Amino acid sequence: MAMLVIDGVDNEPVFWQDARMDVSATLRRADLNLVVPLNALLEHRHVTRAAESIGIGQPAMSAALARLRRMFDDPLLVRNGRVHELTPVAQSLVEPVHVALTGLEQLLVTKPHFDAAVDTHTFTVVASDYVTVILLRPLLERLYAEAPHVAVNVAPVSGATAAELDHAQVDLVIMPGELATPDLRRFPQRALFTDRYIAAVWNQHREVTGEVLDRDQLERLRYVRYNAAPGGAAFVDIQLDRLGIRPNVALSTLSFVLVPFLLPGTSLFAFVHERLVRTSPLRRELKILEPPVPLQPLVETMYWHPVFHNDPAHHWLRERIATLAANL
C-beta neighbour count of 138 within 10 angstroms: 15
Assess if residue 3 is contained within a domain: no
Question: Same domain, yes or no, for 156 and 281?
Answer: no
**Residue 21: pLDDT above 60?**
no
What is the reported pLDDT for 20? Answer: 43
**Residue 72: pLDDT above 80?**
yes
Question: Same domain, yes or no, for 252 and 271?
Answer: yes
* Coil/strand/helix, residue 140: helix
CA 181 to CA 163: how far, in whole Å? 11
What is the reported pLDDT for 307? Answer: 84
Assess if residue 258 is contained within a domain: yes
Confidence bin at 282 (pLDDT 50/70/90): confident
Question: Same domain, yes or no, for 99 and 128?
Answer: no
> Is 76 in contact with 69 (CB distance < 8 Å)?
yes
**Residue 111: pLDDT above 70?**
no
pTM: 0.71
Confidence bin at 14 (pLDDT 50/70/90): very low
Assess if residue 256 is contained within a domain: yes
Over residues 222-229, mean pLDDT: 87
Confidence bin at 269 (pLDDT 50/70/90): very high
Assess if residue 322 is contained within a domain: yes
**Residue 42: pLDDT above 70?**
yes
Q: Answer with the one of 87, 109, 131 that is the final residue of a domain.
A: 109
CATH number at 275 reads 3.40.190.10
Confidence bin at 311 (pLDDT 50/70/90): confident
Within 8 A by CB and 6+ apart from 244, the residues are none
Within 8 A by CB and 6+ apart from 65, the residues are 37, 41, 47, 76, 77
What is the reported pLDDT for 19? Answer: 39
What is the reported pLDDT for 6? Answer: 44
Q: Answer with the one of 45, 75, 109 that is the final residue of a domain.
A: 109
CA-based nearest residue to 303, from 143, 188, 183, 147: 188
CATH number at 93 reads 1.10.10.10
Question: Same domain, yes or no, for 308 and 285?
Answer: no
Question: Same domain, yes or no, for 137 and 208?
Answer: no
Over residues 92-108, mean pLDDT: 74
Assess if residue 116 is contained within a domain: no
Question: Same domain, yes or no, for 126 and 247?
Answer: no
What is the reported pLDDT for 13? Answer: 37
Question: Same domain, yes or no, for 45 and 175?
Answer: no
Q: Answer with the one of 58, 83, 109 that is the final residue of a domain.
A: 109
Give the least confident one: 59-68, 89-98, 128-137: 89-98
Residue type, 25: A
Range of the domain at 138: 121-194+299-326
What is the reported pLDDT for 231? Answer: 61
Report the number of distinct structural domains present in the chain: 3
What is the reported pLDDT for 95? Answer: 80
- Check residues 8 and 130 and name the one with the higher pLDDT: 130
What is the reported pLDDT for 18? Answer: 40
> Is 167 in contact with 155 (CB distance < 8 Å)?
no
Give the least confident one: 18-27, 37-46, 230-239: 18-27
Question: Same domain, yes or no, for 30 and 45?
Answer: yes
What is the reported pLDDT for 107? Answer: 62
Over residues 2-7, mean pLDDT: 40
Over residues 15-25, mean pLDDT: 46
What is the reported pLDDT for 203? Answer: 92
C-beta neighbour count of 33 within 10 angstroms: 9
Assess if residue 128 is contained within a domain: yes
